[in-house]
């Protein structure tokens, strides 16, 4: 084994520090160091969810204490270049749209490249794009050029989101063949947790840098870019991939083969030709459309449905609240959003881990059946005035929204094998881009139509909840139709061997084993790595829970 290892190491001695060959783990490497590396990336790019914390300060970047309104002749194009008046929140909000359109499209376009060059190079490019985009945006704020913010954070940052999001997927699936769902859940929960940490951090920094002449946002962007750069580079160089034919020490694949877990590999160029790809694409689209529509309207929904009940004045409807009462109600609704975010994060780990026991298909069936019931019952909870039940229903719904994201990479690995799962996942994320349009449009436009029809504010979401339940019925049917991939789509053994040649140990290409890699468990190095990501997560959870107590006073 020592001879084989020596030859293997010499073969990659000339490789660049970002090359795939330099990321192949050596004997003694502990696989539990890889999830914290993935979390370092995801906790940073996950701040995309929390960018709304900047909208209000940026809408008065010139006026500082209050917005300087633009003239009627300044439209959207004019606002991209004006330096004499403040930006509208609606114009800033396009950055949020660009985030998720570019996330899905860049993941689809460059997913195949990621599989060729490895996770380290992809994570490095993601770091440059995300942190560089923040710096470009900071300059855009400093010079009051909105187009620079769209370009920096929206476009360049959006590309960084896509590459960063998919960079650990195939790596973690290969490191944890015995616990695929748990592994991807650990990393992808970081994307949900990014805003939980980043939003209060951004608020603290803006308060620190705020002066009578500045709202403190461009300085906050610069500092956050620096902090994120350090964390993301640590994650980038923490990535390792296992050699071909590696297996965890003492683990062998189950002797009773599950028909829903393949032992073969489907090539990237063929995956989208199968009905399974489009069924799972539809499953993710429908699950996410339902969840993201609610998440985007969670604050106004709670305020309009419960209104005065939130401050102990159940007899006062939303329209009758005075200015001070509306501020109190909005504060409590913000706590509701924070609580939903926490369940979004926890659901990513809980449901993905549970899917290792239940199977992916049954896990998604659970999402849809339970979701249908909860969406259908939510109007009843609202009309009954049960705030606790209403909050509980949507916390569970949002846990399944997050769980859907975290479980789908393992679902794809089960269906298509692990060789191209990162790239296939990248293409599947176009479902997220689609859902990001469908969900909010359905919720927002139905709400507007109901209000225009004179429906009381406390009832405007009833029809929406029933429609979203209908989405989940369709999702349940799509998931029910998923069957094992036909054998004609699987690659030949020789094709797989050729692709894996660069990560195969010399003299051991036909053998399976641990090669002394992956052992160690939670040793000192692993505990330190987990502490680096765990401490910020615990801080974010504490902040969220402390604010959420207002819901139950």
Summarize pLDDT for 201-259 with one digit per residue, the tens.
Answer: 998 899 899 998 899 999 999 999 999 999 999 999 999 999 888 888 888 876 656 77
- Within a domain: 203: yes
Nearest-5° Cα angle at 382, 547 to 454: 115
**Number of domains, the chain:** 2
Mean pLDDT of 409-414: 92
- Within a domain: 23: no
Q: What is the DSSP letter of 321?
A: -
Q: Are residues 265 and 246 in the same domain?
A: no
Last residue of a domain, one of 453, 468, 485: 485
- Helices 34-45, 217-238: inter-axial angle, 10-degree rounding: 160
Mean pLDDT of the chain: 86
Tokens of 35: 């999830």
Selection from 202, 126, 96 nearest residue 543 by Cα: 202
Q: Are residues 328 and 310 in the same domain?
A: yes
Selection from 239, 168, 246, 170 nearest residue 518 by Cα: 246
Q: Are residues 287 and 196 in the same domain?
A: no
- Within a domain: 21: no
Length of the chain: 553
Q: Mind listing the pLDDT tens digit for each residue in 430-480?
A: 998 888 788 877 877 787 788 888 888 778 888 889 999 999 999 999 999
Q: Are residues 265 and 199 in the same domain?
A: no
**Do residues 161 and 153 lie in contact, with contact meaning Cβ atoms separated by under 8 Å?**
no
Q: Are residues 263 and 244 in the same domain?
A: no
Q: Mind listing the pLDDT tens digit for each residue in 193-216?
A: 888 898 889 988 998 999 988 999
Q: Are residues 216 and 291 in the same domain?
A: no
End-to-end CA distance of the chain: 64
Q: Are residues 140 and 188 in the same domain?
A: yes
Structure confidence at residue 222 (pLDDT):
97
Mean pLDDT of 363-387: 93
Structure confidence at residue 503 (pLDDT):
54
Structure confidence at residue 360 (pLDDT):
94
Q: Are residues 223 and 342 in the same domain?
A: no
Q: Are residues 242 and 311 in the same domain?
A: no
- pTM for this model (two decimals): 0.84
Structure confidence at residue 504 (pLDDT):
54
- Within a domain: 491: no
Mapping DSSP to helix (H, G, I), strand (E, B) and coil, where does residue 158 land? helix
**Do residues 242 and 175 lie in contact, with contact meaning Cβ atoms separated by under 8 Å?**
yes
Q: Are residues 294 and 399 in the same domain?
A: yes
Domain with residue 59: its CATH number is 1.20.1250.20
pLDDT band at residue 1 under the 50/70/90 scheme:
very low
Last residue of a domain, one of 187, 221, 250: 250
Q: Mind listing the pLDDT tens digit for each residue in 313-327?
A: 877 877 787 778 877
- Within a domain: 538: no
Rounded CA separation 538/471 (Å)? 35
Q: Are residues 121 and 228 in the same domain?
A: yes
Residue 283 above 90 pLDDT?
Answer: yes
Q: Mind listing the pLDDT tens digit for each residue in 356-367?
A: 999 999 999 999
Q: Are residues 69 and 200 in the same domain?
A: yes
Last residue of a domain, one of 198, 232, 250: 250
**Parent domain of 199:** 37-250
- Within a domain: 13: no
Name the one residue in this structure whose structure tokens are 């960018």: 51
pLDDT band at residue 34 under the 50/70/90 scheme:
very high
Q: Mind listing the pLDDT tens digit for each residue in 170-184?
A: 889 889 988 888 988
Tokens of 480: 């029910």
- Which residues lie closer than 8 Å to 200 by C-beta, 6 or more apart? 540, 543
Structure confidence at residue 6 (pLDDT):
41
Residue 10 above 60 pLDDT?
Answer: no
- Within a domain: 521: no
């Amino acid at each position: 084994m020592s001879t084989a290892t020596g030859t293997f190491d010499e073969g990659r001695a000339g490789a660049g520090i970002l090359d795939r060959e330099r990321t192949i783990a050596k004997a003694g490497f502990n696989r539990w160091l890889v999830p914290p590396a993935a979390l370092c990336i995801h906790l940073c790019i996950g701040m995309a969810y929390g960018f709304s914390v900047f909208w209000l300060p940026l809408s008065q970047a010139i006026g500082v204490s209050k917005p300087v309104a633009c003239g009627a002749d300044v439209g959207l194009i004019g606002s991209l270049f004006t330096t004499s008046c403040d930006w509208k929140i609606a114009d800033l909000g396009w950055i949020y749209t660009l985030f998720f359109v570019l996330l899905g499209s860049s993941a689809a376009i460059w997913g195949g490249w990621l599989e060729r060059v490895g996770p380290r190079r992809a994570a490095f490019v993601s770091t440059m794009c995300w942190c560089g985009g923040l710096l470009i945006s900071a300059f855009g704020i400093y010079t009051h050029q909105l187009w620079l913010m769209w370009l920096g954070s929206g476009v360049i940052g959006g590309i960084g989101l896509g590459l960063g999001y998919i960079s650990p997927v195939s790596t973690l699936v290969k490191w944890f063949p015995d616990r695929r769902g748990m592994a991807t859940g650990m990393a992808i929960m970081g994307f949900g947790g990014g805003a939980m940490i980043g939003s209060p951090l951004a608020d603290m920094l803006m308060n620190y840098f705020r002066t009578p002449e500045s709202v403190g946002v461009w300085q906050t962007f610069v500092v956050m870019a620096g902090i994120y750069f350090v964390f993301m580079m640590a994650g980038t160089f923490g990535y390792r991939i296992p050699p071909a034919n590696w297996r965890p020490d003492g683990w062998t694949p189950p002797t009773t083969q599950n028909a829903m877990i393949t032992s073969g590999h489907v090539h990237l160029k063929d995956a989208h030709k199968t009905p399974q790809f489009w069924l799972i694409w539809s499953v993710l689209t429908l699950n996410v459309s339902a969840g993201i529509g609610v998440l985007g309207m969670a604050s106004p929904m709670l305020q309009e449905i419960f209104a005065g009940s939130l401050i102990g004045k159940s007899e006062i409807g939303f329209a009758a609240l005075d200015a001070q009462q509306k501020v109190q109600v909005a504060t409590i609704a913000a706590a509701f959003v924070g609580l939903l975010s926490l369940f979004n994060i926890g659901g990513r780990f809980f449901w993905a881990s549970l899917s290792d026991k239940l199977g992916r298909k049954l896990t998604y069936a659970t999402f849809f059946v339970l979701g249908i019931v909860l969406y259908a019952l939510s109007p009843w909870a609202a009309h009954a005035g049960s705030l606790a039940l209403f909050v509980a229903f949507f916390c569970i719904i949002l846990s399944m929204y997050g769980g859907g994201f975290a479980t789908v990479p393992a679902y794809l690995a089960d269906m298509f094998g692990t060789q191209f799962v990162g790239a296939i996942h990248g293409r599947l994320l176009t479902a997220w881009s689609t859902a990001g349009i469908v969900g909010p449009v359905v919720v927002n436009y139905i709400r507007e139509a109901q209000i225009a029809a004179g429906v009381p504010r406390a009832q405007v979401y009833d029809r929406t909840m029933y429609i979203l339940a209908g989405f989940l019925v369709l999702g349940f049917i799509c998931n029910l139709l998923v069957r094992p991939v036909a054998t004609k789509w699987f690659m030949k053994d020789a094709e797989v061997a050729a692709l894996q040649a660069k990560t195969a140990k010399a003299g051991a290409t036909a053998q399976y084993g641990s090669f002394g890699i992956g052992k160690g468990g939670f040793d000192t190095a692993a505990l330190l790595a987990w502490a680096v990501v765990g401490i910020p997560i615990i801080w974010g959870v504490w902040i969220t829970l402390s604010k959420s107590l207002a819901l139950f006073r």
